[in-house]
Amino acid sequence: MKGKCNFKLGALCAILSAMLLIPALGQAKEGEGAHYKEQLGKIIKELKLAPEKEKAILALEDKYGKEVEENIAGVKKAYEELQAAVAAPKPDEAKLKGLVSALTAGEDKMFASFKNRRDEELSLMTPAEQAKFLVALGQWRQQMMATHKYNEAGEKK
């Protein structure tokens, strides 16, 4: 049981480490929220959306930007606390359980925020615009991962 718990904690730490480092979540870095908004603006211009759709989509970044930054900061803090607790010679199981719960709750909140923003963005577009938008975001994500030397699975090269 203890080996199983350690494996799960190790796997969780590895996954979270990769997630926090993936450029798609780069908004956690200072100034990256502005970079995301700038890139989003470029993608919207390339899609040639109607001005009202463009404004509505950019307004969503204002709506969700701060929330996403706070969520990422909270997850990062929870991860650091968990990492410190795991590094202790004899980790307290109750403390670990609480930290794992806090971390997973923070991740759930962060993912929900990303999903809500994406769903609202897509709801403003036609299916063709949605497809082009998602492809453009995917290409940008791959470009960012290559720049920061990550493979498609989000693992450091």
Residue carrying the six token digits 């109750």:
94
Q: Render pLDDT for 32-45 as a digit per residue (tens, 0 to 9).
A: 566 777 888 888 88
- Residue 87 counted as domain residue: yes
Look at the chain and report how many structural domains it folds into.
1
pLDDT of 3 strictly over 60:
no
**Residue 71, SS3?**
helix
Q: Render pLDDT for 102-138 as a digit per residue (tens, 0 to 9).
A: 999 999 999 999 899 999 999 999 999 999 999 998 8
The residue segments making up the domain with residue 29 are 2-147
- Residue 157 counted as domain residue: no
Work out the average pLDDT over 135-150: 82
pLDDT of 91 strictly over 70:
yes
From CA 17, how far away is CA 34, in angstroms rounded?
23
- Residue 69 counted as domain residue: yes
> Cβ of 10: how many Cβ atoms within 10 Å?
11
Q: Render pLDDT for 63-74 as a digit per residue (tens, 0 to 9).
A: 888 888 899 899
**pTM (predicted TM-score):** 0.65
pLDDT of 9 strictly over 90:
no
Q: Specify the range with the lowest mean pLDDT, choosing from 13-22, 26-35, 57-66, 118-127.
A: 13-22
- Residue 155 counted as domain residue: no
- Residue 126 counted as domain residue: yes
- Residue 17 counted as domain residue: yes
**Residue 69, SS3?**
helix
- Residue 156 counted as domain residue: no
- Residue 127 counted as domain residue: yes
